[in-house]
Structure 1
Amino acid sequence: MMKVVLCSFLFFTTLALAFFQNKLRGKKLFLSRLQNIARSRNMQDELVDDELSKPFFERIISPFLEWVSQAIARHLPTKNRDKLQQMLQLAGYPGNLHVHEFQALQLGVIILFMLGFWLLAYLRHQGAVGQLFQLLIGAIMGILFMRYYLTVRIRKRQETIEKELPAMLDLLSVSVEAGLGFDAALERVVSKAEGELSDELRRTFKDIQRGKSRRQALKDLAERTGVEDVHSFVGAIIQAEQLGVSIGKVVHTQAEHARQKRRQRVEEKAMKAPVKMLIPLVLFIFPTIFIVMLGPALINLMEFL
C-alpha cells in the first residue's frame, strides 16, 4: 500500500513539476518575445528619428532623383552617358551629382522650362499649335541651360586650376629639392594646401597609395582636369622618370613655364579689353556725346528755320 502511495506521490509531483516548468518556460518565452518587440519598436523609433533628422533634400528629393535617374539610364544611349560623365568629371561633379542624378535634375529643369513657356503661350491666348511650339522651345531651352551651366562650371574650374598650378608646383619643387621623394612631397603639399587642384592632387596621392602606378595616377589627374598646363606637367614628370632626370629640376621648370603662360594669358586678356569696350562705346557713349555736341546746334537750326 505504501508503495502505491509513494509511486502516486512521485508521479503527481513529477507531473506538477513538468507542468510548472512548461508554464515558466512559456512565461519566459512570452517575456522574451515582448522584449524583442519592444527592442524592435525602439529600433524603429530610432530609425524614424534618424530619418526625420536628415535634410529634406536627402530624405525626399535625393531618392526621387535616384529613381528617375535609373529610369532614364535604361533608355539613354551609352555614348551620351559617357560624354555627360566626362563633362561632369571636368566640372568637378557639382553638388556631388553623378550622371544619373544630373540626368534626373536635367529632366526636372526641362519640365519647368516647358511649363513656363506653355504658361506664357496660354496667357497670350495662343492656339494649340502655338502652345505646342512653346513647349518645344521650352524643352530646347532647358537642355541648353543645363549644358551652358556645365560649360561655365568647367571653364571656371579650369581657370581656378590654372591659377593655383604655379604656386602648387613651387611648393612641390621646394619639397623635392629639400630631399623628399615625389610621393612624400606630394603628400606634404596636399596636406597644407586647399583648392580645386589640391583636391585632385590628394586624389592622385590616394590612388598611388592604393597601388595604382604613379604614371597611371598622373595620367588620370590630367584627364580629370582637362587643363593643358597639367597635361604638360604630367608628361614632363613621366618623361623625367623614364630618362632618370632630376624631378626637382623638372618641377621647378614646369612652375616657371606655368607662371609664364599665366602671364601671357593675362596680357592677352588685357589686349582684348579695348576691342570688347568698342561695343558699349558705340551703343551708349557715342550717342550721348553726339546729343551733347549736336543738340545746341540742332536747337539753333530749328529756331532759325
Structure 2
Amino acid sequence: MDVIVLGAGLTVIFAALLILLLAVVSGGGGRRGLARALADIDAVYAPGAAQGRRTALSGTPHSRGPLGRAVTLLASRLTPNWAAVWLQRTLDHAGNPPSWPPARILEAQGWGLLLGVPTGALLGLLLVAVRGLPPVSTLILGALAGGVIGLWGPYLLVLNAAQRRQEQLLDTLPDTLDMLTLCVEAGLGFDAALQQVAAGIDGPLGRELARALQEMQMGKRRGEALRALADRTTIPELRNAMMSIVQATELGIPVAAVLREQSREMRVKRRQRAEERARKVPIKILFPLVFCLFPALFVVILGPGILRIIDAFSN
C-alpha cells in the first residue's frame, strides 16, 4: 500500500510539472525581432532601470533550443519582480560576467527546479524507507525542498561571486588611490591620471576605472561617471572616495589634496582591517583546537595512564 501511495505521489508531481511547463510555453510567447533587440540593448547599456532589468530577465536570447526556452520561461514566471531586480543589481556587483547573463541564470534556475523536485522526492523516499516516516508528507516536503534549492541555488552562486569581487575591490583600493595621487601630483590631469591607473592595475577595480573613463570619453560628465562607478559597488570607502572627488571637481577644490587625504584614510582603514582580522584569529582557532587537537592530545597523554589504572583496579 505504501509503495502504491509513493508511486501515485511521484506521478502527480511529474504530471503537475509537465502541465505547468506546457502552460508556460503556450502562454509566454514573449517579444520578437526589433523589440527584443532594443530590450537587450537597454539591459546592457542602462542596467539601472528596473523595467530594463525585468525585460532582460523575461527574454530568452541566450537559451538553447525550445526546451531551454521553456525552462527559462518557467523560471521567469516563478521569479518575483523584486528578485529579478535584486539579481540584476547583484550581477552589476559581480561585474556582469559575459558567460552568465540573466537569461542563462534563469535557465539554470529552471533546470535546477526540474531536477531538484524529483531529487528531493527520491531523498524523501529514502527517508521513508530508512526512518519509517509518514510517506505522503515526507515525499511532498522533500519535493518542495528540492525545488526551492534548485530554484534559488543560482542566486546564491551569483551572490558569492559578487561578494568575492567586492572584497577584491576593497583590497586594491588603497594602492589605486596612491597611484592616482602620485599621477595627479606629477602634473597629469585627472582624466590622464585615471587612464594611467586603469592601464597599470589589474583586477576588477582597474576594469571599473576603465569603464568610467570610457563613459567620460563617450560624452558623460565626470561626476555622473564616478557616481555610476560608486553605484556599481557596495564598498563605503570607494563610495566616499568617488563622492569626494566629484565634490572637489564641482567646487573647484584641488583634486590632489583630496586624493592625498583619501589615500591617508585608506591606509589607516587597511591597517585597522588587518588588526581586526588578526584579533579574530584566536576565536577562529578555538573550535578546531578544542574539538580536533585536544582530544588527540588527551588520548596520547592520558591514554596509557588510564589503561594502567584500569588494569590495576581489575587485578
TM-score (norm 1): 0.72
Counterpart of 2:117 in structure 1 is 114
Residue by residue over 1:255-274, the C-alpha shift from the partner in whole angstroms, topping out at 9 and shown as x without a partner, is 22222212211211111010
Superposition RMSD in Å = 2.6
Q: Contact (CA 8 Å) 2:116, 2:146: kept in 1 or not?
A: yes
Q: Which moved more, 1:255-264 or 1:193-202?
A: 255-264
Listed as ranges, the gaps of 5+ residues in structure 1 are 1-57
1:73-152 maps to which residues of 2 (within 5 A)? 73=76, 76-123=79-126, 126=129, 127-152=135-160
The residue type equivalent to 2:145 in the other structure is I
Aligned length: 248
Q: SS at 1:225's partner residue?
A: coil
* Superposition deviation, residue 144 in structure 1: 5.0
* Superposition deviation, residue 241 in structure 1: 1.7
* Superposition deviation, residue 156 in structure 1: 0.9
**CA gap 1:96/1:227 in 2 versus in 1, 3 angstroms:** farther
* Superposition deviation, residue 148 in structure 1: 2.8
Counterpart of 1:252 in structure 2 is 260
Q: Which moved more, 1:217-226 or 1:188-197?
A: 188-197
* Superposition deviation, residue 95 in structure 1: 4.8
Q: Contact (CA 8 Å) 1:88, 1:150: kept in 2 or not?
A: yes
The residue type equivalent to 2:102 in the other structure is V
Counterpart of 1:264 in structure 2 is 272
Q: SS at 2:187's partner residue?
A: coil
Counterpart of 2:213 in structure 1 is 205
Residue by residue over 1:133-173, the C-alpha shift from the partner in whole angstroms, topping out at 9 and shown as x without a partner, is 21111123234533332232122111111111122222222
* Superposition deviation, residue 276 in structure 1: 0.8
* Superposition deviation, residue 124 in structure 1: 5.5
Counterpart of 1:281 in structure 2 is 289
Identity of aligned residues (%): 33
Listed as ranges, the gaps of 5+ residues in structure 2 are 1-60, 130-134
Q: SS at 1:211's partner residue?
A: coil
Q: State the alpha-carbon separation in 2 of the partners of residues 290 and 144 from structure 1.
A: 44
Q: Which has the larger radius of gyration?
A: 1
Q: SS at 1:170's partner residue?
A: helix
Q: Contact (CA 8 Å) 1:187, 1:202: kept in 2 or not?
A: yes
Q: Which moved more, 1:131-140 or 1:144-153?
A: 144-153
1:286-301 maps to which residues of 2 (within 5 A)? 286-301=294-309
More helix as a share of residues? 1
Q: Contact (CA 8 Å) 1:118, 1:131: kept in 2 or not?
A: yes
